[in-house]
Amino acid sequence: MSTTLSIQLKIPNIMNFTPRRAEEADAITKATSYPKLSDFMAKDEMTFTPDLTISEAIELILKKKLTGVPVLDDEKRIVGMISEKDCLRIIIDGVYNNLPYNHRKVKDYMSPVVKTISVNSDIIDVANEFLTSNYRKFPVVKEGKLVGQVRRRDVLRAIRKLKSNTWNYHNHPTYH
């Protein structure tokens, strides 16, 4: 003889799965205002196209004292980044592979994977990105399109403008 046990559970229609700490972090973020990235980023920096010759790119990098330049397609979307380090590969190609670089393009040497920063970030988030990577510059994007660039020096400029009473890292959600 078998017995069936039936249990009815009453489950509310709406359940909130937001962790309490996330709600606290949002409240702290609203109460604590850190400088916005958009106040310190460069908005009209140089960009390259994938079809620019690598010779022209090197000339511009040297002339303008650039460490890296975003590479954009016709619709202003980032398709890569060309850095001083990427350009050093020309020497290896020439010596080991006997490849002349005169007619090579930026697209042949650029890094196709690009770490970007959202224009909505604050300066604390950007500083953290620089501290946890080897990058010297990040492209700043809004809805996938380039709107500026931020360098380590831009963060230093932000530090100079901050007052000593602003430095309360316990109030920033990144550090919870």
Confidence of residue 15 (pLDDT cuts 50, 70, 90): very low
**Cα Rg, the chain, nearest whole Å:** 24
Average pLDDT over residues 33-53: 91
Q: Report yes or no on 12 lying in a domain.
A: no
Q: Report yes or no on 7 lying in a domain.
A: no
Q: Report yes or no on 78 lying in a domain.
A: yes
Decide if pLDDT at 22 tops 90.
no
Confidence of residue 27 (pLDDT cuts 50, 70, 90): low
Q: Report yes or no on 173 lying in a domain.
A: no
How much of the chain exceeds pLDDT 70, in percent? 70
Inter-axis angle of helices 123-131 and 152-161, nearest 10:
130
Which pLDDT belongs to residue 172?
55
Selected residue with higher pLDDT from 174 and 150: 150
Q: Report yes or no on 174 lying in a domain.
A: no
Q: Report yes or no on 104 lying in a domain.
A: yes
73 CB burial (10 A radius; 0-12, 13-18, 19+): exposed
Q: Rounded to whole angstroms, how far apart are CA atoms 60 and 133? A: 25
Confidence of residue 73 (pLDDT cuts 50, 70, 90): very high
Q: Rounded to whole angstroms, how far apart are CA atoms 26 and 151? A: 27
Q: Report yes or no on 51 lying in a domain.
A: yes
Decide if pLDDT at 64 tops 70.
yes
Residue 79 sits in a domain whose CATH number is 3.10.580.10
Which pLDDT belongs to residue 62?
96
Average pLDDT over residues 21-40: 67
Write the pLDDT tens digit of every residue in 124-146: 999 999 999 999 999 999 998 99
Domain total of the chain: 1
3-state secondary structure of 118: strand
Decide if pLDDT at 14 tops 70.
no
Write the pLDDT tens digit of every residue in 93-112: 776 777 667 778 999 999 99
Residue numbers of the domain that contains 152:
33-163
Task: Check: pTM over 0.75? Answer yes or no.
Answer: no
Q: Rounded to whole angstroms, how far apart are CA atoms 43 and 70? A: 13
Q: Report yes or no on 9 lying in a domain.
A: no
Confidence of residue 61 (pLDDT cuts 50, 70, 90): very high
CA 97 to chain centre: 34
Confidence of residue 65 (pLDDT cuts 50, 70, 90): very high
